[in-house]
């Protein structure tokens, strides 16, 4: 870095030791640090009025937010309706307007001092006394000069976060702006380019000094957007370089013995299947086969909606491994699911002489020892288990393939532990939580992704409807009628409380009510979180065997067993479930060729009123989204049957971190890039990064020196996440 830029900020005029100390407390030491302290926002409301007299012309029929600048002429606090109401009057050379707050009068009194200038942003109203009024508007204090500049030249004014450390040493909005302005004037030309020229030219970016200048004091909106684009690109570009290096580095380092078709095992198995694989399944299988036939370990993520048939794909992959004398580990998150997979896979393979074991914590001690032995000596070819499989005493003879189901429930470390039990084993990760494209692109940059985007042919789309609680009698009647055609039903209630005791009580109450009052002629079962997994399994098993017509449950059926005749699911208080949970629940039905129904019951008036409205995010403000969240989720369930579509919506509603804890997924906290909105930039940056690293892994070419230096300087300490290690 240029020595000028690494100088302490004390070299700036208005900064002495005391202020320097305050800056240091928020991590700003050098001039460069300060140049990279960007505004958190700008005074950039789209509707800026040049003078107050125009206000009365826009008020009629105007339904948006405007920004207007005025000087405080007077303020008063009025006591009315047991409240202190704060009013402030502002003016410019053409007229007056008023701002009102019904809360916080003390605070606002200190803010709005006579003679000061403010930019006020809100939707104006006309009071019955003919005043133009803003109620609880947003406001920014600006200096008189700024207000002139703003009006005369349309300058965009930056606003910086002002942490208390800065406020304590008397740095306010204007002084910070001034400090940064002087830093830019004297030092921005020392900034060295941080991207190779060819990328700047390719994407028509501003040079680095122009980028930084315009991020602080934009010449106009076009320049501001251009600068933002570049800083975002740069952030994600360097991140993707790391991902790419990580990936290619791993590929370089690791070898496995390539698999070959040795016997007719896979073919024989395929001939026993009672159904045809879908095109999607076949495609994925050929991708997997290619991976397994190469001498690099497979690192593949398989995404597919609930019921799309991932298990059979995993099974066929395992047979390919077994044909090559390898062992397979099948890791699942819960005991009941492990047990289910064990039974399904044993059934599929009953004509073959392949030793399969179930390894979960509830296996008896003596059995455990036997299983551990047979894993160690290589006799067991497939072991299905929970995290119990990760324990140190489990050793494999020749672990060649690891399948991980419902991967997001496993932490990165746990995966690593399993990987270390083999010698660069192949890995297939399966998930039914579809991950939006942007996210998988970013966080699974070093995994190859396969997608099953097609349901087995015999499936009819599930009919999903939304009903108010007043319709419950009709719904029970529907269950009763359909039962005559052999339909079974799930009735789901959300977990009432964290407390298991209360949950148990609630589940039991619902159960008793349905059994005694609503559906007395049907056989009702109950399943809830207080049961052990064996008890849960017994209930599910009895349900599958038609000992019950209806199964009342809390959300424990989320991951459950195939029950072909259960073709109705009623979800109560549906507004309380998350989208992916609703989708998982719905996936419990519709596993046969009969028409299945998902009935969402809610008291949410907004949802019922907007039933079937297609929410368009582009036109919703964040506060509207907040208000409508439940309604948006429920309507999305009606409109979309694909988990991928729902995941996109969920992603928009919740942000990426919440889909599955950010830490676990290894997504860094990006400062500039927005994983939801900046798809285009991410795509370009990733393409560029992967292309460059692919051609020049160690960045030895002269043309890549800038990239190499920046990676070494800025990112060498950064812990690179990896999906596997
Ligand atoms: P998931 O992707 O949710 O794990 P499963 O693998 O459990 O789905 O498959 C759901 C059901 O569909 C299983 O009973 C499975 O045997 C069956 N199945 C899988 N593939 C097909 C297919 N191509 N045609 C018909 N049924 C299939
Ligand atoms: Mg599954």
Nearest CA to ligand 1 atom 14: 562
Q: How many structural domains is the chain composed of?
A: 4
Q: Which residue from 328, 312, 438, 319 is spatially nearest to 378, judged by alpha carbons?
A: 328
Is residue 372 within a helix (H) or strand (E), and if so which, with residue range? helix 365-376
Asked if 59 and 133 sit in the same domain, the reply is: yes
Distance from the alpha carbon of residue 429 to the mean position of ligand 2, in angstroms? 12
At 190-248, the pLDDT tens digits run 999 999 999 999 999 999 999 999 999 998 889 999 999 999 999 989 988 888 887 77
Asked if 185 and 297 sit in the same domain, the reply is: no
Judged by DSSP in three states, 230 sits in: helix
DSSP state for residue 616 in the 8-state scheme: -
d(CA 595, CA 485): 11
Q: Cα dist. 139→112, 149, 390, 674 in Å? A: 10, 18, 56, 26
For 510-523, b/e burial (b = at least 16 CB within 10 A) is bbeebbeebbeebb
Distance from the alpha carbon of residue 307 to the mean position of ligand 1, in angstroms? 5
- pLDDT band for 724, please (50, 70, 90 cuts): very low
Asked if 278 and 417 sit in the same domain, the reply is: yes
**For residue 678, which phi and psi values (nearest 5 degrees)?**
-95, 40
- Output the average pLDDT for the chain: 85
- Which atom of ligand 1 is the closest one to the Cα of 304? 2
Nearest CA to ligand 1 atom 17: 309
- Of 9-18, 285-294, 441-450, 588-597, minimum mean pLDDT range: 441-450
* Residue 373 belongs to a domain: yes
* Residue 326 belongs to a domain: yes
The CATH number given to whatever domain includes residue 182 is 1.10.150
Q: Mark which of 155, 180, 204 sits at the end of a domain.
A: 155
At 35-93, the pLDDT tens digits run 999 998 887 655 677 777 766 666 655 556 778 889 999 999 999 888 889 999 999 87
Asked if 437 and 468 sit in the same domain, the reply is: no
Query: In the prediction, which pLDDT does 82 show?
Result: 83
* Residue 457 belongs to a domain: no
Q: Cα dist. 724→417, 424, 443, 720 in Å? A: 10, 11, 11, 11
Q: Mark which of 640, 669, 692 sits at the end of a domain.
A: 640
Q: Is the pLDDT of residue 386 over 90?
A: no
Q: Which residue from 247, 366, 236, 382 is spatially nearest to 682, judged by alpha carbons?
A: 236
On whether the CB atoms of residues 475 and 467 are closer than 8 A, the answer is yes
d(CA 424, CA 441): 24
d(CA 576, CA 588): 18
- Which atom of ligand 1 is the closest one to the Cα of 458? 25
On whether the CB atoms of residues 236 and 670 are closer than 8 A, the answer is yes
Q: Which residue from 679, 710, 680, 689 is spatially nearest to 244, judged by alpha carbons?
A: 689
The CATH number given to whatever domain includes residue 136 is 2.40.50.140
Q: Cα dist. 21→11, 45, 352 in Å? A: 13, 34, 74
Asked if 412 and 485 sit in the same domain, the reply is: no
d(CA 42, CA 157): 6
For residues 669 and 318, the model is more confident at 318
pTM: 0.65
Pairing of strands 327-331, 41-43: unpaired
Asked if 138 and 66 sit in the same domain, the reply is: yes
Nearest CA to ligand 1 atom 26: 456
Asked if 175 and 109 sit in the same domain, the reply is: no
* Residue 542 belongs to a domain: yes
On whether the CB atoms of residues 460 and 595 are closer than 8 A, the answer is yes
Asked if 145 and 178 sit in the same domain, the reply is: no
On whether the CB atoms of residues 463 and 595 are closer than 8 A, the answer is yes
Judged by DSSP in three states, 121 sits in: strand
Asked if 271 and 289 sit in the same domain, the reply is: yes
Q: Cα dist. 216→6, 168, 195, 204, 376 in Å? A: 19, 23, 20, 20, 63
At 478-492, the pLDDT tens digits run 999 999 999 999 999
Asked if 497 and 632 sit in the same domain, the reply is: yes
Count other Cβ atoms within 10 Å, centred on residue 508: 14
Judged by DSSP in three states, 530 sits in: coil
* Residue 721 belongs to a domain: no
Q: Cα dist. 384→136, 302, 310, 357, 476 in Å? A: 60, 18, 15, 6, 39
Question: What secondary structure does DSSP assign to 311-324, as a single string?
Answer: HHHHHHHHHHHHHT
Q: Is the pLDDT of residue 516 over 50?
A: yes
Domain that holds residue 18: 1-44+164-191
On whether the CB atoms of residues 642 and 308 are closer than 8 A, the answer is no
* Residue 414 belongs to a domain: yes
At 413-463, the pLDDT tens digits run 555 666 777 778 899 988 876 666 656 666 566 678 888 988 888 788 899
Asked if 76 and 93 sit in the same domain, the reply is: yes
Give helix then strand counts, H and E, for the chain.
27, 22
Nearest CA to ligand 1 atom 5: 309
Count other Cβ atoms within 10 Å, centred on residue 329: 28
Question: What secondary structure does DSSP assign to 39-107, as a single string?
Answer: -SEEE--S-B-S-GGGHHHHHTT--S-EEEEEEEEEEEEEEETTEEEEEEEEEETTEEEEEEESS-HHH
Name all residues whose Cβ lies below 6 A of ligand 1.
275-278, 281, 304, 306-312, 432, 456, 458, 562, 591
Distance from the alpha carbon of residue 455 to the mean position of ligand 2, in angstroms? 13
Asked if 297 and 406 sit in the same domain, the reply is: yes
Distance from the alpha carbon of residue 643 to the mean position of ligand 2, in angstroms? 14
Bridge partners for 384 per DSSP? 330, 358
Cα 344 to chain centroid distance, Å, stands at 32
* Residue 53 belongs to a domain: yes
- Of 460-464, 578-582, 637-641, minimum mean pLDDT range: 578-582
Q: Mark which of 427, 452, 477 sits at the end of a domain.
A: 452
The CATH number given to whatever domain includes residue 534 is 3.40.50.300
* Residue 704 belongs to a domain: no
Nearest CA to ligand 1 atom 24: 456
């Amino acid at each position: 870095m240029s020595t000028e830029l690494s100088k302490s900020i004390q070299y700036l005029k208005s900064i002495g030791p005391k202020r320097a100390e305050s800056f240091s407390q928020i991590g700003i030491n050098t001039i460069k640090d300060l140049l990279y302290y960007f505004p958190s926002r700008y005074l950039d409301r789209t509707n800026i009025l040049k003078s107050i007299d125009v206000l009365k012309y826009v008020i009629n029929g105007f339904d948006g937010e405007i920004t207007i600048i005025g000087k405080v002429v007077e303020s008063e606090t009025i006591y009315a309706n047991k409240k202190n109401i704060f009013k402030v009057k502002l003016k410019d050379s053409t007229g007056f307007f008023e701002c009102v707050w019904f809360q916080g009068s003390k605070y606002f009194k200190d803010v709005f001092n006579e003679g000061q200038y403010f930019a006020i942003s809100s939707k104006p109203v006309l009071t019955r006394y003919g005043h133009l009024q803003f109620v609880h508007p947003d406001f920014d204090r600006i200096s008189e000069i700024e207000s002139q500049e703003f009006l005369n030249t349309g300058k965009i004014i930056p606003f910086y976060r002002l942490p208390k450390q800065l406020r304590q040493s008397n740095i306010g909005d204007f002084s910070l702006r001034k400090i940064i302005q002087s830093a830019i004037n004297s030092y921005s030309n020392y900034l060295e380019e941080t991207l190779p020229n060819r990328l700047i030219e390719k994407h028509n970016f501003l040079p680095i000094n122009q980028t930084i200048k315009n991020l602080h004091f934009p010449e106009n909106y076009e320049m501001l957007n251009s600068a933002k684009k570049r800083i975002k690109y740069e952030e994600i570009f360097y991140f993707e370089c790391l991902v790419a290096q990580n990936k290619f580095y791993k590929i370089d380092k690791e070898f496995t013995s390539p698999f070959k078709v040795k016997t007719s095992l896979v073919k024989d198995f395929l001939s026993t299947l009672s159904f045809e694989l879908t095109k999607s399944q076949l495609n994925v299988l050929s991708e997997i086969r290619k991976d397994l036939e190469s001498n690099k370990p497979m690192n593949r993520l398989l995404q597919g909606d609930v019921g799309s048939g991932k298990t059979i794909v995993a099974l066929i992959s395992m047979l390919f491994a077994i044909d090559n004398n390898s062992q397979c580990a099948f890791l699942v998150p819960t005991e009941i699911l492990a047990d289910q997979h064990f039974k399904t896979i044993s059934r599929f393979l009953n004509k073959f002489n392949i030793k399969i074991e179930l390894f979960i914590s509830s296996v008896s001690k003596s059995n455990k020892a036997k299983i551990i032995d047979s894993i160690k000596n290589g006799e067991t070819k497939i072991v299905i288990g929970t995290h119990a499989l990760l324990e140190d005493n489990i050793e494999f003879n020749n672990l060649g393939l690891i399948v991980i189901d419902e991967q997001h429930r496993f932490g990165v470390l746990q995966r690593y532990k399993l990987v270390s039990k083999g010698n660069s084993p192949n890995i297939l990760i399966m998930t039914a939580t579809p991950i939006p494209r942007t996210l998988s692109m970013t966080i699974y940059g070093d995994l190859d992704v396969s997608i099953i985007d097609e349901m087995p042919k015999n499936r009819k789309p599930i009919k999903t409807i939304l009903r108010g609680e007043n319709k419950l009698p009709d719904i029970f009647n529907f269950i009763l009628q359909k039962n005559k055609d052999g339909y079974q039903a799930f009735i789901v209630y959300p977990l009432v409380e964290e407390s298991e005791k209360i949950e148990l009580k609630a589940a039991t109450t619902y159960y008793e009510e349905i059994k005694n009052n609503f559906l007395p002629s049907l056989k009702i079962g109950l399943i809830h979180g207080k049961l052990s997994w064996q008890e849960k399994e017994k209930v599910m098993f009895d349900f599958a065997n038609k000992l019950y017509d209806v199964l009342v449950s809390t959300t424990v059926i989320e991951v459950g067993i195939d029950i072909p005749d259960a073709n109705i699911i009623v979800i109560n208080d549906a507004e309380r479930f998350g989208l992916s949970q609703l989708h998982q629940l719905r996936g419990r039905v519709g596993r046969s060729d009969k028409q299945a129904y998902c009935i969402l019951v809610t008291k949410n008036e907004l949802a019922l009123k907007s039933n079937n409205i297609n929410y368009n995010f582009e036109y919703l403000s964040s506060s509207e989204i907040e208000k409508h969240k439940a309604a948006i989720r429920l309507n999305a369930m009606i409109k979309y049957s694909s988990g991928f579509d729902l995941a996109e919506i969920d992603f928009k509603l919740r942000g990426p971190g919440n889909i599955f804890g950010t830490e676990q997924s290894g997504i860094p906290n990006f400062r500039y890039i927005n994983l939801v909105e900046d798809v285009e930039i991410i795509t370009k940056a990733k393409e560029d990064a992967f292309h460059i690293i692919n051609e020049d892994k160690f960045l030895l070419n002269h043309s890549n020196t800038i990239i190499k230096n920046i990676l070494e300087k800025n990112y060498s300490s950064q812990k690179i996440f990896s999906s596997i290690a």
